[in-house]
Structure 1
Amino acid sequence: METANTVEASKITLSELMLPSHSNFSGKIHGGYLLKLMDQIAFACASKYSGCYCVTASVDTVDFLNPVDVGELVTLKASVNYVGKTSMIVGIRVTSEDIRTGIIKHCNSSYFTMVAKDEQGNNANVPRLILSNMNEVRRFYDGVNRINNKKRHKELENNFDYKSEEALKNLENFNVVLSEKIQ
């Protein structure tokens, strides 16, 4: 029997107070610490949705929009936006709140591709995704576009000849100098 789950059934929220032990030398929270929290919520979201152990296959575009300060409350919200046969794209939004003033900042948004695994470690099929509103439809198609763009980018990478005369000449447009060994 084929199963299906709603986007709502995948939603997870995680909040954590940022401590001095999470900070760098300038008193801002390490980006790596935030990435760790994002990976944890992506795992929880994908596993809750699929009913399987899940692993991170890729992380797409993490732009740090605003710094997070020690003492702020960071909240991560995640949901499954797209499902394939064995994979899911989990959308994550990170905000921070100054608990004294109540001011909330959008810190970053990211997309994690997660793959479901069975007990033997093989890829496992995931339930179909029930889309309940137009925002969920938009997010699903964003996932389709994200996958298609990755495929196109990989194809361009595979076909690019970095040794060609044209490619080497084009390096003049960048902040590089070719060693005499290359010329």
Structure 2
Amino acid sequence: MTKSTIYKHVEESRITISELMLPSHSNFSGKIHGGYILSLMDQIAFACASKHSGVYCVTASVNTVDFRNPIDVGELVTMKASINYVGNTSMVVGIRVDSENIQTGETKHCNSSYFTMVAKDENGKTVPVPGLIIDSDEEIRRFIRSIKRQEMAHERKSEFGEGKFDAKKYIDQLENYNVKVM
């Protein structure tokens, strides 16, 4: 991996947004639609990555979006994003989503996710991004966790990639699942 000559602190590109959840954002069960939250998460990931890189960024992948708690109409949603990892042209943006009942003050963690963003120039070509200055145990943990997540994804792709997968090796594992193999 080529090292950048420019480095930025995590704090320099950290973004926080808050938005009141309206009835127009709700689904048929009266909770805030997950797709709406994902759209907001994509926006904050773009803002954070673009602030770090200084250029336009696109979403390359989204890793682990587990909706832990529903969000109700009238709650204030706050999203916090920071750069967790940088490669040559890509960045992993960690996002935490919390909601607050503004009448009671009760807050809940709704989800956390990781967006991989890629820096692009005006012609759509990838461009190098600044390196990252990490200066706390938490920032080190996030950086290493991103590396491990990438390694695990590579292993999954190697093991389960099209043309490489051997179903016979795994057929016995399906016995305890709600599936019928014909």
Q: TM-score, normalised by structure 2?
A: 0.92
Match in the other structure for 1:71: 74
Q: Distance in 1 between matches of 2:159 and 2:148?
A: 16
State which of 101, 113, 120 in structure 2 corresponds to 1:98. Answer: 101
How many Å apart are 1:176 and its aligned residue? 2.1
Question: Aligned-pair distance for 1:137?
Answer: 1.0
Deviation at 1:64, TM superposition (A): 0.5
Q: Counterpart of 1:108 in structure 2: which amino acid?
A: N
Unaligned 5+ runs, structure 1: none
Q: Secondary structure at the match of 1:122?
A: coil
Partner of 1:11: 14
Separation (CA, whole Å) in 1 of partners of 2:48 and 2:173 = 44
The match for 1:160 among 141, 154, 165 is 165
Q: Which segment drifts farther, 151-160 or 12-21?
A: 151-160
Q: Matched residues in 2 for 1:161 and 1:10: separation?
A: 44
Q: Residues 114-162 of structure 1, C-alpha deviation per residue, up to 9 Å, x if partnerless?
A: 0000111001100010112221111111111111111111111123212
Shift of residue 178, structure 1, vs aligned partner: 3.5
2:32 is matched with 29
Offset of 1:170 from its aligned partner?
A: 4.4
1:41 equivalent in alignment to 2:44: yes
How far is 1:3 from its partner?
1.2
AA at the equivalent of 1:103: E
Specify every segment of 5 or more residues in structure 2 that has no aligned partner in the other structure, as ranges. Answer: none
How big is the shift at 1:15?
0.5
C-alpha separation in 1, matches of 2:138 and 2:104: 31
Q: Which amino acid aligns with 1:118?
A: D
Q: Which amino acid aligns with 1:58?
A: S
Q: Aligned letter for 2:19?
A: E
Distance between the aligned counterparts of 2:181 and 2:127, measured in 1? 48
Separation in structure 1 between the aligned mates of residue 156 and residue 124 of structure 2, nearest angstrom: 29
Structure 2 CA distance for aligned equivalents of residues 168 and 176 of structure 1: 11
Question: Which stretches of structure 1, 4 residues or more, deviate above 6 A after TM superposition?
Answer: none
Distance 1:170 1:131 in 2: 42
Structure label with greater radius of gyration? 1
Distance in 2 separating the partners of 1:129 and 1:48: 13
Structure 2 match to 1:172? 175
TM superposition score normalised by structure 1: 0.92
Alpha-carbon distance, 1:169 to partner: 5.1
Query: What is the CA distance between 1:168 and its match in structure 2?
Result: 4.2
Could you say what the CA RMSD is over the residues aligned between the two structures, in angstroms?
Answer: 1.4
